[in-house]
Structure 1
Amino acid sequence: MDSIRSVSGRILNELYVRQEDSTGKAVLSRLRNSIGRDYIDMADIMPFVFDKLPESFLGNSKRMTDEEICILTCLQLYAIHQQGDDSNVYERGENYGNIGTSLKVLRAGDDTTAVDRRFNAMITSTEFDELIVHLRHLIRLLKSKQKGTKVDYAGLSEDLYWIRKNKNKDNIILNWAREYYKVNYKGESNEK
């Protein structure tokens, strides 16, 4: 049986391989343009996404399934982050931990108050859509301030799925916060 993580990983790898050809560029552009639009208005991106999903992830009602939403959300975040970058911003594996690990690099510097506020707003979000808005802002900030930072988008899609299902939500959010705030590599605390 396919997992959210494995399906997302396959799609992300395909997007990276195809990013230099016109079709790949168009898909990434359509993913970025689909952000904030109602799912009914995303007909231009749905063939690409639905074609890659296993039958068990596909819904049969007017609403998208949790799997469809979480995978699409991570593909949109990846499309934002990958834009204009030749190296792949997606990296699967232990080296990149969770989203807190990747966002932690934004704390490098003297004044971390603003980015900490953004991160805290994300992890204290009560609604899934609110969390995604904050996460999108943090990914844009990561793209602009910390070139070369990788994100495990496949792992993120799985985390988002469990958050959306409200299973292990508190544990996932706590793990993001642990990674974000833990002691940096120089042995110094990130706290001021």
Structure 2
Amino acid sequence: MTTSTPEPAPPDAPSQTELAAHVAKLAGRLQHGAITNLAGPVADLARLRRSLDAAAGSDPVVWRIIFAGFPEQPDEPLPSRGEYAAYLSVCLFAIHQQSKNTQMHGGGRTHCLGRAIRQLAQSGTDAEPDGAIVKRFNAVVTADDFNEVIHHLRSLVGLLRVSSIPLDYGLLADDLYQWQLSSKRSGVRLRWSRDFSRVPRVPKTGLNTDSPDPDSTND
């Protein structure tokens, strides 16, 4: 059995906290503008939706929308891992928020990828998760190619949008950054699988629905 030496994070990489905070702040601003029907954010989201399949950096307007104030922008010929993760996350968010008058970027681990997809697949605590959704989620977790991951995520984000289930795009950006590091990839997959395995709580009539999620104490 051969082992590989874990590669260190690039010296110019933003910290996970910086990356997540930047993407979350941008998604929050864009969704507020979309919900209140402000012309600028609505136009920005439309442009972002068209950019998911384009090369990062090929549209200077899109780059400016996403990366104004970004923690690190190295002077390199290709986008950094952090830039690529932010670019893809924000473009996916633009698809998620399209024509929605509620917030599709949710903050916190209750809206992480695995839990959001489990909510999508689960109609109640006693029900088996929908097999078709499980199959789509498994395809994301087991994908060996980053473009394949994004392809499957795009499909799942479309389903989350139809069901009005939010996703934390700051956390997703962190996950996509780490996936690009071979030493971190198995940890991302494990986190997604663990989060999906948590059955979502369904509030019962007459009970206090403000009680905390028991899983959230460990987040």
TM-score (norm 1): 0.86
Identity rate, percent: 24
- CA-CA distance at 1:34 after TM superposition: 0.3
CA distance in 1, matches of 2:44, 2:69: 13
Partner deviation per Cα, 1:86-128 (whole Å, 9 max, x = no partner): 11111112432x2000011221356722211111111111111
Is 1:58–2:76 an aligned residue pair? no
* Higher alpha-carbon deviation: 87-96 or 18-27: 87-96
* Matched position secondary structure for 2:177: helix
- CA-CA distance at 1:184 after TM superposition: 4.2
Partner deviation per Cα, 1:147-170 (whole Å, 9 max, x = no partner): 2x1111101111111111234221
CA distance in 2, matches of 1:95, 1:140: 19
Partner deviation per Cα, 1:24-73 (whole Å, 9 max, x = no partner): 1111001000011122532331122222312xx21312201111111111
The equivalent of 1:172 in structure 2 is 188
CA distance in 2, matches of 1:30, 1:150: 21
* Higher alpha-carbon deviation: 87-96 or 29-38: 87-96
Write the letter of the residue equivalent to 2:174: E
Gaps spanning 5+ residues in structure 1: where?
A: 187-192
Which of 116, 119, 143 in structure 2 is aligned with 1:125?
143
* Matched position secondary structure for 2:136: helix
Cα 1:5/1:167, change in 2 over 3 Å: farther
Alignment: residue pair count: 181
CA contact (8 A) 2:136 2:152 kept: yes
Cα 1:94/1:115, change in 2 over 3 Å: closer
Is 1:108–2:125 an aligned residue pair? no
Write the letter of the residue equivalent to 1:65: S
Is 1:89–2:89 an aligned residue pair? no
Write the letter of the residue equivalent to 1:67: G
| Structure with greater proportional helix content | 1
CA contact (8 A) 2:56 2:84 kept: no
Task: State the Cα RMSD in Å.
Answer: 1.9
Cα 1:182/1:10, change in 2 over 3 Å: closer
Is 1:135–2:157 an aligned residue pair? no
CA distance in 2, matches of 1:40, 1:5: 20
Gaps spanning 5+ residues in structure 2: where?
A: 1-14, 203-219
Is 1:152–2:168 an aligned residue pair? yes
The equivalent of 1:24 in structure 2 is 41
The equivalent of 2:88 in structure 1 is 73
Q: Which has the larger radius of gyration?
A: 2
Cα 1:182/1:13, change in 2 over 3 Å: closer
Write the letter of the residue equivalent to 1:80: I
Is 1:183–2:199 an aligned residue pair? yes
Is 1:7–2:7 an aligned residue pair? no
